[in-house]
Amino acid sequence: MLILPGRSASWNAGSSGLSEVTCGGSAYFSGSQAAQDADSAAASAYLKFKTSNAFLMTIHEISGGRSVIDITSGGAINVRCRSTTNSEILNITSSTGYADGSEHEMFWSYDASAGTSQLYIDGTSDKATTTTETTGTIDHTRSNWHVLNANGSGGDAYTGGLWRFCYWQDVSLDCSSAGVRANMADETKSGTLGDNIIEIYDVAAMNAGTNQGSGSNFSVSGTFT
């Protein structure tokens, strides 16, 4: 994976010296991950999205997304997971719409062995709607992983800014702990938390790169601005 030089756990994108990356549908990350089916997963992101009905990440299969983080029509953050038998085992949504053009920090975790999940936005718990939350095994052994769009062709693409996106498998993280959230946000510590399949910390610096993420790696399609 590519980990860029350190920034502290409390860094703010607007004052970090990083340029905002605009993701408008023509550019995205894609890859074929050598992942394992998991009984837990977690993700963190520092982002500024401007439109609704968009995908931040999908593990895609023709019969449906296996693990999906998206923005609903109302701008809320929705996270869904499906099992190895293609049954929905998680479907949670934030109460607030965040497609406001402001910077937001997201932390999510799901312990599928216990059937519990957490969703924190800007340091506050915001898991408002729980459609499904049960036990199972998350189906990660799919060839099509996409960050910033749904299907590798720009469909339902994320529009806005992105500074960080990380995704872990087989690790149960307590997002209610400020210390855990700080470690999830710090590239010098995030790898110590468990198997972090995707670790993207500075999208702008990776424009021409081909080593985003671990496993079989991620490549960039198109150009971020």
Tens digit of each residue's pLDDT (9 = 90 or more) over 73-121: 788 999 999 888 888 999 999 988 888 878 889 999 999 999 999 999 9
Domains, the chain, ordered by start? 21-221 (2.60.120.200)
Higher pLDDT, 5 or 152: 152
At 125-167, the pLDDT tens digits run: 999 888 999 999 988 877 667 777 655 555 567 777 777 778 8
Give a three-class secondary structure readout of the chain.
CCCCCCCCCCCCHHHCCCCCCEECCCCEEEECCCCCCECEEEEEEEEEECCCCEEEEEEECCCCCCEEEEECCCCCEEEEEEECCCCEEEEEECCCCCCCCCCEEEEEEEECCCCEEEEEECCEECCCEEEEECCCCECCCCCEEEECCCCCCCCCECCEEEEEEEEEECCCCCCCCHHHHHHHHCCCCHHHCCEEEEEECCHHHHCCCCCECCCCCEEEECCCC
Q: What is the pLDDT of residues 38-76, one digit of tens each?
A: 899 999 888 887 767 777 777 765 455 678 888 887 889
